[in-house]
Amino acid sequence: MQDGKHDSAERIWEKRIEFAQGENLDKRMEHKMFGLRKKKRESENGIKQEEKNMKLIVGLGNPTSQYEGTRHNVGFEVLDQLSEQYNIPLDTAKHKGFYGKGRIEGQGVVLLKPMTFMNLSGESVVQVANYYKILPEDVIVIYDDINLDVGRLRIREKGSAGGHNGMKNIISHLGTDAFPRIRVGVGMKPPKMDLADYVLSRFSEEERAAMEEGYEKACKATALLVMDEIAKAMNDYNGK
């Protein structure tokens, strides 16, 4: 009887140990699952936060090969260089434009080329801004300026369109002019030459060399704007 009682007691303790081990395993699994769920939430929140704080970088120009290399398309040229430099393909055709998502200096960005033709650029800009919930102050527009020497830059935190039809349309659709912009000089038009003919003309060989330097400076200035270093961008590149 003593042996039977002893065996019975051992079995009871074995079951208690098994139960405790199972309970501990359940708790460990629960903690592990909680950790995984927490990491997933943090990851999802990180993605949402990144998209919420994204910058929209817009280069203005006219679509089709007919306008490639013209003075009015310098915004497209800068976007192409940013796309290559930061490995952000403009491979999504949507919202009346071609665009791509990526990162510049660690900041989430969307690079956009509106395909609406210059005067209707705002239609594409506002659609992409709304889709990604990007505020107007986080929109950066790069475009040509006939009042600046070839390859020179002028950076502003906000302001009027200054007679530029593409900017007029963007301001109209966003409902504000309070967003940063980079104007890239394409030179003043010759006397008596029609303005439309001039902005749709191409650069001379000498001008192209100056424009290449201008595109490089515009890319560096864009990176500063993306990091909210607008004062430094203006100090480093305005008039240069």
Q: Given a cut of 80, is residue 12 above it in pLDDT?
A: no
Active-site residues, by number, are: 72
User: Options 1.10.10.10, 3.40.50.1470, 3.30.160.100, 3.40.50.720; which CATH number does 53-237 get?
Assistant: 3.40.50.1470
For the entire predicted model, the pTM comes to 0.80
User: Quick one: pLDDT band at residue 80, thresholds 50, 70, 90?
Assistant: very high
pLDDT averaged over the chain? 87
156-199 pLDDT, tens digit each: 999 999 999 999 999 999 999 999 999 999 999 999 999 999 99
What is the pLDDT averaged over residues 214-225? 98
Tokens of 185: 């000089």
User: Quick one: pLDDT band at residue 53, thresholds 50, 70, 90?
Assistant: confident
Classify 185 as helix, strand or coil. Answer: strand
Q: Dihedrals φ, ψ of 139, to 5°? A: -100, 130
User: For residue 24, what pLDDT is reported?
Assistant: 57
Nearest to 114 by CA among 71, 70, 63: 63
Q: Given a cut of 70, is residue 50 above it in pLDDT?
A: no
Distances (CA, A) of 69 to 130, 197, 212, 223: 30, 14, 12, 23
- Indicate the domain borders of the chain: 1-52, 53-237
Calculated CA dihedral for residues 55, 61, 65, 66, nearest 10 degrees: 180
Nearest to 185 by CA among 155, 146, 222, 229: 146
Q: What length is written for the chain?
A: 240
Q: Facing residues of 104 across strands? A: 107
Lowest mean pLDDT among 23-32, 85-94, 107-116, 139-148: 23-32
- Strands annotated E in the chain: 55-59, 92-94, 97-104, 107-114, 139-145, 153-156, 181-185
